[in-house]
Structure 1
Amino acid sequence: MSQPTDSRTAFVTGITGQDGSYLAELLLAKGYEVHGLIRRASTFNTHRIDHLYRDPHEESRLHLHYGDLTDSSRLVSLLSEIAPDEVYHLAAQSHVRVSFDEPEFTGNTTGLGTIRLLEAIRMIGLEVRFYQASSSEMFGSTPPPQSEDTPFHPRSPYGVAKLYGYWATRNYREAYGMYAVNGILFNHESPRRGETFVTRKIARAAARIALGQESQVYLGNLDAVRDWGFAPEYVEGMWAMLQADEPSDYVLATGTAYTVEDFARLCFAHVGLDWTRHVRFDERYLRPTEVDALIGDPSKAADDLGWRPRTFTPELARIMVDAELSGLRGPAADVSPFPVLGVAGRSIAG
């Protein structure tokens, strides 16, 4: 497995998201120059990476560029200018329930956005290593355990769009000899998870209820089984995939199964509460088609990359609830698991 040099450059889409922020920290700690793609908006949506800008007198190795996955010409110009060694494609409309309400938008960004990026790389002729953020939602109704060889049967517009991106990535690898890989990541969470995602919603509710700020939380399918891991560990796997001698696709997962009910029980128990007194069912949170069970088999990643999960659902629940309690009681603590060296200043190009 090859090692990066201090002069290596990475381009990250979705850098302001949960995974993007942890990946930026990891890459900067390894000496990379990091360029991130962000959408233009009337306000900054960079709160997950704002802590990376620390010393205004030191030259920055983190640069943000305005752009959008629906704008092919912008992707071509940015990639030509930056000429990265590695591309991590994490950006997407990533909320499964929302994808039923906005299927066309989800397909255009999550699906077609991937092939726009791949085609830009091909047109320019970049010698780059490409990571595609695929998803366990592609398996859908296929029974677990799910591995790299398990057939796909997506059950949402999001899963369908991710499957398009998965096959596009494999096709460009096979047709053009690109170093392009799919990371098929099962659910991975952290205190930086969006507040509308079920794990963050539960952890936040448990903390607020424990502090007397609310009394109940409304959830959908409590019986859904998921394989939950810790996001900072999963971005280590992303990086490892692009350091391998040959490109291949990998499942990242813990191999353990917990229901949404289990997660609620763990979060509320951590603050000394009985979850049944505070969780209420609301059918509005049900999906038109449910995915009953996603449990990954990460054996290939362990064998080829040496990647193994270290944090499992019970500890994850405690981490997330503690972060919510800390945030509600006072200024949020820095939850970064990686040291960040030599990162300073804000640079937004374009």
Structure 2
Amino acid sequence: MSENRALITGITGQDGGHLAELVHSKGYEVFGLLRGQRNARREALEDEFPFINIIEADLTDQTSLIEAVLTSQPTEIYNLGAVSHVGYSFRNPQLTADITGKGVLNLLEAVRVAGYQEKARFYQASTSEMFGGLDYNRPGAGYNEESLFHPRSPYGVAKLYAHWIARNYRESYGMFISTGILFNHEGERRGLEFVTRKITNAVARIHLGMQEYVVLGDLWPKRDWGYAGDYVRGMWQMLQHDEPDDFVLATGETHSIEEFLELAFAEVGIADWRPYVHQDKQFMRPAEVDILLGDPSKAERVLGWKREVDFRSLVSRMVQHDLASVRRP
């Protein structure tokens, strides 16, 4: 049995894959929670990460979570599981609340009931969507750990509940629980339903003559975009720190979707992206966040964390990955 054992929820997601690779490279035994006996992603997960021990459990089923904790005997737990698409959360707010919000309570209770509140360190994946684009504390500056919250989507609201219940368990039961307030982080493992990967996949297909254009919503929102691989390293660093705490991970700079489009199309030699982009109201949210800018100075100072992949390199990496994927028979 390995000395370090990581239990990861959301193992089939972008961050789950990056994190599983990271902790495996550090000698951890890795356990991944998979929802449902016939999960469509199971085969792909087993092919890409044969070292992961799969445990069938559900964030809405506390009994299965208790069994998962007892089976894995974790030294570290990373809760990345969530309904994580903001647009989808408007269409199915109740499911979002049950999994993204209440699911965290179920997992924390499972850890406590199983007797692992002092044996396992716990990471909760919080999000910049909790801020909601309003900042009454630091006008003109990036959001930090002390900024006020004002979520503007069912996803943001559910994540805020998860964030506060995690902090409550830390303070009430003395559990080692750190929360990572992560700003947008993308990469080649991002799902096609997310705007960045939707763009890079479409750019690859347009370049190869397989698609004429891409349909998007608003193009003006600005986000603080980083690389997912850098951010999961920050998650791990949080659980290696002496004390549990809350940390913002961000790049400290923002870019609009238009800027992302410009760089993505330029990667395949297309100078003017506008003829290839159509807009449709169905992809516009009822309440949009204008700008999200993070201040990672605490994580940089306390953890020694630093992002390594800049915005241009991130876009290039994603386009080149999708070009290779689309060409692959």
TM-score where L is the length of structure 2: 0.95
Range that drifts further, 148-157 or 33-42: 33-42
Q: Is the 8 A contact 2:32 2:55 kept in 1?
A: yes
Q: Which residue of 1 aligns with 2:245?
A: 248
Query: Which residue in 2 is equivalent to 1:14?
Result: 10
> Which of 18, 25, 30 matches 2:26?
30
The aligned residue for residue 72 of structure 1 is 62
Distance in 2 between residues matched to 1:67 and 1:17, nearest whole Å: 16
SS in 1 for 2:288: coil
In structure 1, the partner of 2:294 is 296
User: Is 1:105 aligned with 2:95?
Assistant: yes
Query: How much has 1:51 moved relative to structure 2?
Result: 2.2
Structure with more relative contact order (C-alpha pairs < 8 Å, separation 6 or more)? 1
Shift of 1:145: 1.1
Select 1:133's aligned residue among 121, 125, 142. Answer: 125
Counterpart pick for 2:52 among 51, 62, 71: 62
1:268-307 to 2 correspondences below 5 Å: 268-273=265-270, 274-307=272-305
1-structure distance, mates of 2:202, 2:56: 34
| Deviation, structure 1 residue 161 | 0.2
Q: Distance in 2 between matches of 1:44 and 1:34?
A: 20
Please say if residues 184 and 251 of structure 1, whose CA atoms lie closer than 8 Å, have aligned partners that are also in contact. yes
Change (3 A) 1:43 1:151: closer
The whole-number CA distance in structure 1 between the counterparts of 2:96 and 2:179 is 19
Match of 1:309 in 2: 307
Deviation at 1:272, TM superposition (A): 1.1
Q: 1:10 to 1:153 in 2, by over 3 A?
A: same
In 1, Cα distance between equivalents of 2:25 and 2:4: 12
Cα drift, residue 43 of structure 1: 4.8
Letter of the structure 2 residue corresponding to residue 281 of structure 1:
Q
1:206-246: CA deviation from partner (whole Å, max 9, x where unpaired): 11111111111111110100011111111100000000000
Find the aligned partners of 2:108 and 2:38 in 1 and give their Cα distance. Answer: 29
Q: 1:291 to 1:48 in 2, by over 3 A?
A: farther
Conserved 8 A contact 1:183-1:250: yes
Unaligned runs of 5+ in 1: 54-60, 332-350
> Which of 236, 239, 243 does residue 239 from structure 1 map onto?
236
- Give 2:111's aligned residue: 121
After the TM superposition, which of the residue ranges 40-49 and 87-96 deviates more from structure 2? 40-49
Task: Give distance in 1, aligned partners of 2:281 and 2:49.
Answer: 40
Contact 1:188 1:229 in 2 (8 A): yes
Q: Report the CA distance between 1:40 and its aligned residue.
A: 1.3
Which structure 2 segments of 5+ residues have no match? Answer: 136-140
Q: How far off its partner does 1:49 sit?
A: 5.8
Distance 2:56 2:255 in 1: 39
More displaced, 37-46 or 234-243? 37-46
RMSD: 1.3
Report the identity percentage. 51
**200, 207, 215: which one pairs with 1:218?**
215
How many residues in Structure 1 have an aligned counterpart in Structure 2? 320
Q: Sort the Cα spacing of 1:184 and 1:220 in 2 relative to 1 into closer, same or farther, 3 A.
A: same
Aligned to 2:138: none
Name segments (4+ residues, structure 1) moved above 2 Å. 41-44, 46-53
Once residues 123 and 30 of structure 1 are traced to their aligned partners in structure 2, the CA distance between those partners, rounded to angstroms, is: 29
Which residue number in structure 1 is paired with residue 35 of structure 2? 39
